[in-house]
Copies of this chain bind each other. A is one copy, B any other.
């Protein structure tokens, strides 16, 4: 442990970036290209750079900008992880964020870099993960789940236009359990709500062999923060 580690901790930001792939929730993992824990998989992250970062959230956005071509996914702090042993380089803090990537622009948003990247099922990532990133992913997923459990709609994960069934399947993927259709629609479409979270566009989904569904969009100033 270097001397400075006894005065100043290393400060990192780590991000659990979620997206929907069809009807499955996924999270982005990267394979570390450097020591320590080289070749291990983990959440994308990086060290805080006080010289260029305005705050921790800005640091997280900077780290994300190296992975993703769109900015402004929903980004929210979850909690911190800290201690002398979690990173071999010394006493460290990681501030964990989770981010939600919107649906449609996904195809073109990922930029390949020196590291390998992979979208995996957050409930069973299928890799042994570096540092305490396994615990971090669990915390991030729990935070997302709890929000949806509290009836917040994960609209930041949706494409610009979506159907109610799509939205319901997204919630079900996050919660890991089926939802009742009637109850879901009643909740999401309150008849006389002055500020409904979602707005009917007036178009219908075409090109499918079933009855076409109404398309909706998120309210202009919708926020996933309670």
Contact = CB atoms under 8 A, between A and B. Distances in A.
A177 to B, nearest CB: 18
How many protomers of this protein does the assembly include? Answer: 2
Interface of A: 4-11, 48, 50-51, 54-56, 77, 79-80, 82-84, 90-91, 93, 95, 146, 150, 226
Contacts of A10: 8
16 contacts: A4-B4, A4-B8, A5-B50, A8-B9, A8-B10, A9-B11, A9-B48, A11-B11, A54-B84, A55-B83, A56-B82, A56-B93, A80-B95, A93-B93, A146-B226, A150-B150
A91 B51 CA distance: 9
A218 to B, nearest CB: 23
Nearest to A57: B82
A133 to B, nearest CB: 17
A56 B84 contact: no
A76 to B, nearest CB: 10
A56 B91 CA distance: 11
Nearest to A83: B55
Contacts of A51: 6
Given A8-B8, A11-B9, A146-B226, A83 B54 contact: yes
A74 to B, nearest CB: 16
A6 B77 contact: no
Contacts of A83: 54-55
Contacts of A6: 50-51
Given A9-B48, A56-B80, 9 more contacts: A8-B8, A8-B50, A11-B11, A50-B84, A54-B83, A55-B82, A55-B83, A77-B80, A93-B93
A97 to B, nearest CB: 10
A150 B152 CA distance: 14
Nearest to A77: B79
Contacts of A50: 5-9, 84, 90-91
A4 B9 CA distance: 12
